[in-house]
Every structure is written in C-alpha cells, then in structure tokens.
Chain A
C-alpha cells in the first residue's frame, strides 16, 4: 500500500527536478550579470532594448492578427462540419493535424516558392505582403490547437437545437453564428487564442526565413551574442507562455463553473 503511494511521488519529484532545475539555474544565472551580487540588470537591459520592444510588439501584433484570421476561419468551419457535414469530420481533423507532421521549414519553403516576388501572387515582394504571408503561416501552424479547442467547445453545446431555435425566430446564418454560437464557445475560442499567442510569440523558423523582425529571431540573435540577457529572455518567454496557460485554465474553470450552475 505504502509502496504504491511512494512510486508516483518519486515520479513527480523526478519530473519536477528534470523540469525545474534547469529553469532555476537559468533564472539564477540571469541574475548574476553584476559581479558579486544578484540583480535584475539583465532584465533591465533586455526590457529597455528598443529591439526587444519592437520585436515583441511586432510578434504580439502578428499574433493578434493570427488569432482574428484563425477564429474567422475555424469557428464557421467547425460549426458547419458539426451541423451539416458530420461525415467530413475525420477529413477536416486530418487536414488540421497536417501542420504537426509537416515541419515548419518545409511549409515556409513551399510558401516562398508559391508567393515569391516573381510568382502570380508576389506576397514576399513587399513588407506588408510578407506580414500577410507570415500571418497566414501562423494560422496554419496554430490550426491543430485552434480547431481542436473550438471543436471541443462546439461539442459541449447543442449546436443543432440552438441553431434551429434561432432560425425559427427569424435569425439569419451570420447572426446565429455571431450572437448565439460564438458567445457560447467563447471559452474554447479564448483557449485556442492563448495557445496561438504562445506559439506565435516564440516561433523562429517562419519569421526568420521570411526575414521579419519577430521575437523568435530576436531571441536567437541575442542568444548568439550575449551571455546573461538570453537567460533573462528565456525566463521572460517562459513567463509569457505560463501567463497564457494560466489564462486558459482560468477561463476553462469559469466555463466549467457556468455549465455546472
């Protein structure tokens, strides 16, 4: 009996050490910029760096654009699949999983071939065009998480009956989607959005190959040239990701509470 309790604890402690020790070590190292004492000097330098602010601001903006395009694409798709084309669900699920099995570098090379400056749609010919391409790349990259999240949310409500109730009251399809369906999958959409935000903020391959001033390439650049600042940046990136995860859990708990009530 005692043995069966100890074994899981050993597993938990081993996992915690494996995960936490490098993190604590990184944090400790990031505080040692000033000789002989701990300080947040590395953080001050990083946060005060105009390139940090510009790259983080750029990535945050692209993340918001990605979320908007992703929600506009995924919510109606998942809704129509659930309501009208349930037989297509396995096909859609397979398609949305593809970004997990096709490496980002392959996707981005495909984009560069398709949308280069001498192609029929020369998106890489201008900075704005490349931003649009990067946004769509991130939509693809975040598709598995966004689709699953929204699909789970839609399965939790009686989509068909709610739709029919709204239709019988004279409502049109766009109105049903915006006023009935979307508010009822709000928590799922938010979860997908936070995951998307976390992915976009840390993404390197696509932003680097498309030559955009995003946070991922900035992290790589600092990592290659400085000692203490990369550690501070790693901790900041972790904090952002954790904040996103915390918000997912918070909204998830709120959603569950509402359903229980």
Chain B
C-alpha cells in the first residue's frame, strides 16, 4: 500500500469544483511534483493533505491512517511555504525549535535537534539571527529546517522557490533534493515551473483543470506525453498541423512536404488531419539522408539566448523553432536564408484531438 494515498478527492468552492476526483499514490521516500498552470488545483490538493482545506469528498491516507478529517496540527506534516512564513519575532534557532517546543521535547533534545538542523541546511553560525537579517535563500533553508525538525511523516513544499532569484533557485533546488534524499522523507512538491519539476522529481503529476493529465517519471512525461496538454505544457514544443498521407506506413504531409513517423497515429486514418509536435532540441539544420525527415523552409527569426541560439523556421503555412548551441567561431544564420530542418522519425509526437 502506498505511503500517501489520495482517493477520489474532490474540492468545491461554491459552484466551482477545483479538484475533480483525483487519485494519487505516493510511495514512502518518493519525491512527487504536482505540476500545472495556475488554478489547476495543485495547491488545493497540497492544502487538503496539510489539513488547511477540508475535502468536499474523497479520502487522504498517510501510512494507512485516514487523516481526511484531522486538524492540521494533528497530522505530523512539515510544510514549506512560498512566502517563507518564518516567525519574525523569533530567532532562527527559535523558529526551528518552535515545533519541538510545541511537542514538549526536553531542552537538551531541542538544542541538539536545532544544531543538527542548522548543520543540515549549512547555516550553523546563524542560529541567533532574526529572519529580517537573512537573504531569501537563507530564510527558505531555515523554513525547510523548521519543517524537518519535528520529523514529519510527509514534507509538503508549496512553490518554495518561486520568490527567489534564478541563481539561488537552482542551487536551493539541488539542496532541497539532496536533503530529501538523505532523510528519505516522502515529499510532495507543488510548482508551475517545469524545469524545477523535471530536475527534482522521482515522478511528476501533471495537472490541468482539477484533474491529473499524466503521472510518470520526468523522462516519461517529457518524452512520451499522453495528452495534448502535457505535450504543450511540459517543455517547449512546436505544434504543426499535418495530414495522414498513408496510415499504414506512417506517411504524413506538412505544408505539402512528406515526412514519416514511427510513432502511433492514435487511430487516425489516411486523409485525416492531425496535430504534430516537435521538440526544438530534436531538430537540426541541414539535410539528412536515410531514415530522417527533412523539411525545407526559410529562417524567419534568430534569437540569441547565450549558450543556445533559437531559430524560427517558416514553411508555407506553419513555423517551428529549433535550438542550436552557440559556437563563438560560427555567427548565427541570417533571416530570410533558405534552410532544411531534419529530425528523426521517432521525434514526431502525434497529439490527440483535432488540430486547432
């Protein structure tokens, strides 16, 4: 049985149903990310697990125990908030000790645990400081230590990196993952940032409009999206309209040019219109022979992004973007220049549903 088990969870606010019958099983020690756009219900699920929102229906079980109707202070859950939520009137050490004092631990035990936590977050010398004397990254590390000090059964992270600048965000996400691995604590992480989700998670639960679109490893979700929403939400994606030229051989037509896919056509027949998706990193410039596909077009836009150059190539009616590594000795191509884009047969994702 899963360590955290969510069954048929529903949450309604007035007439609006935010969470629509969600089922999710998280194993002990697993790091699962709820990923989705604003309003998809991911934070509501997290808040229901924490006990801050009551479920309209459904059950939440932790280690086999039904906690659906328990108060937040009875659940033994650690939570880290986007806004840090450190108590401004308390020092770093007092913040970390707060939950231990509530649990009526002995002074010696509290002191030892606070020291251990400060070392865990690599801030052993800052115990006497107050939150306002710390940077955002330091405050969030203290918030993590405070949540972990009480040895919670589950750690809940509610967009903990959103308020930080890019550099700190990257280093802190590695630290959070390292701490989670070293303690082996079951963790639910909520984010709308796909890069965070892909880099940190054991599994990603992609959510949209109150339900789960896909649950899988980052590799599966990115490379084998099962729905059109997942394909477009996770990673950058080029979507072009195509037509099935021969369903038996996987031949397709894009702006009159023939390409072949080795992937399933999702039941489409010859003559059907469908949407095709291509990841920018799957595309390369130049004509390729053999089993690769080639599309001829002209360069429409060139965006220099530092390590990567993103090039937009226009065909007759559609356009796609591709990424190339920046090479200092090779200047980026010019707009209007004719170009051939090639990609493998397995790189074409056939999306479900009719093209827009």
Contact = CB atoms under 8 A, between A and B. Distances in A.
A209 interface: no
A164 B72 contact: yes
Nearest to A157: B88
A110 interface: no
A179 B75 CA distance: 21
Interface in B53-68: none
Contacts of A172: 73, 102
A170 B79 contact: no
Contacts of A116: none
B81 A169 contact: no
Interface residues of B, number: 30
Interface in A8-65: none
B150 A170 contact: yes
Interface in A85-120: none
Interface in B123-171: 132-133, 143, 146-147, 150, 156
A169 B79 CA distance: 8
Contacts of A179: 98
A184 B88 contact: yes
B224 interface: no
Contacts of B219: none
B87 A180 contact: yes
A175 interface: yes
Given A180-B87, A184-B88, A168 B79 contact: yes
How large, as a class, is the contact surface on chain A? Answer: 20 to 34
B1 interface: no
A170 B105 CA distance: 13
A165 B156 CA distance: 11
A168 B88 contact: no
A171 B98 contact: yes
B147 A261 contact: no
B52 A167 contact: yes
B21 interface: no
16 contacts: A162-B87, A165-B86, A166-B87, A167-B51, A167-B72, A169-B150, A170-B74, A170-B99, A170-B102, A171-B102, A179-B98, A180-B87, A184-B87, A184-B89, A258-B132, A261-B132
Given A162-B87, A171-B99, 19 more contacts: A161-B83, A161-B85, A164-B50, A164-B52, A164-B79, A165-B85, A166-B87, A167-B72, A168-B73, A169-B73, A169-B147, A169-B150, A170-B76, A170-B99, A170-B103, A175-B102, A184-B87, A184-B88, A258-B132
Interface of B: 50-52, 71-79, 81, 83, 85-89, 98-99, 102-103, 132-133, 143, 146-147, 150, 156
Interface of A: 157-158, 161-162, 164-172, 175, 179-180, 183-184, 186, 258-259, 261
Ranked 4 nearest A-B pairs via Cβ = A169-B99, A165-B85, A183-B89, A167-B72
